[in-house]
Every structure is written in structure tokens, then in C-alpha cells.
């Protein structure tokens, strides 16, 4: 299984194995990682699973679809060029080693 690393605002690091086909958001929820609220359950409708993808991991991602781009306009924390909704990041073998940084707030 690919390993995804979640970095909290305080610098705490948690690396977990996430099953293929699962979202980065579900990986956080299933492993009780604080900082991803996921109010809509992964439907790209709330922006409470916002993450900042580490610069070293950006090339492994597919481009954001229009509905994700739209919802990124509603994040509670600042939107940056590396902002993504973790519910829209499907775990594939190419994401092994993905690092995401959690924002200071989700809503």
C-alpha cells in the first residue's frame, strides 16, 4: 500500500499506509488524523478536507477538475498554488510517499 504522510500545523508528522483507490481524505479519517474534517464525506462540496501538497509531491498528482477548483475558492485557510481537496486525491501507486500539510483551520 502507498504511504501518505500528513504534517500538522505544529509540525507533528503521521505516515500511514492507505489502500489503493482510497482518497487521501479517507486515509486521514480512517487513521484518526486531526485536521481533516470532511463534512461532506468526500463529495467535493465543502472544502473541509483542504490540504497543501508538499512541493516534492506535486508532479505525482493529476490536475484538479473544475468542481475541485471551484470549491478551493471556499477554503477557510488561505488558498495557495499547492492547495488541493484531499477527497479528490485518489491514492495510486504513483502517490506512494505523498506528503500533505494540513492548514491551520478547515472552517
In whole angstroms, give the CA distance from residue 58 to residue 82. 7
pTM of structure: 0.95
pLDDT for 77: 97
In whole angstroms, give the CA distance from residue 62 to residue 57. 11
As a whole number, mean pLDDT of residues 37-60 equals 93
* HSE-CB of 29 using CA atoms within 13 angstroms: 15
Beta bridge mates, 21 = none
In whole angstroms, give the CA distance from residue 22 to residue 29. 11
107 confidence band (pLDDT: 50, 70, 90): confident
As a whole number, mean pLDDT of residues 63-77 equals 96
pLDDT for 56: 93
Beta bridge mates, 6 = 14, 100
Amino acid at each position: 500500500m502507498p504511504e501518505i504522510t500528513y504534517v500538522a500545523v505544529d509540525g507533528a508528522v503521521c505516515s500511514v499506509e492507505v489502500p489503493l483507490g482510497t482518497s487521501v481524505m479517507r486515509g486521514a479519517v480512517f487513521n484518526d488524523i486531526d485536521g481533516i474534517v470532511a463534512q461532506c464525506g468526500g463529495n467535493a462540496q465543502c472544502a473541509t478536507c483542504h490540504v497543501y501538497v508538499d512541493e516534492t509531491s506535486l508532479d505525482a498528482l493529476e490536475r484538479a477538475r473544475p468542481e475541485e477548483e471551484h470549491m478551493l475558492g471556499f477554503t477557510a485557510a488561505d488558498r495557495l498554488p499547492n492547495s488541493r481537496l484531499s477527497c479528490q486525491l485518489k491514492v495510486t501507486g504513483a502517490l506512494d510517499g505523498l506528503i500533505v500539510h494540513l492548514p491551520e483551520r478547515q472552517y
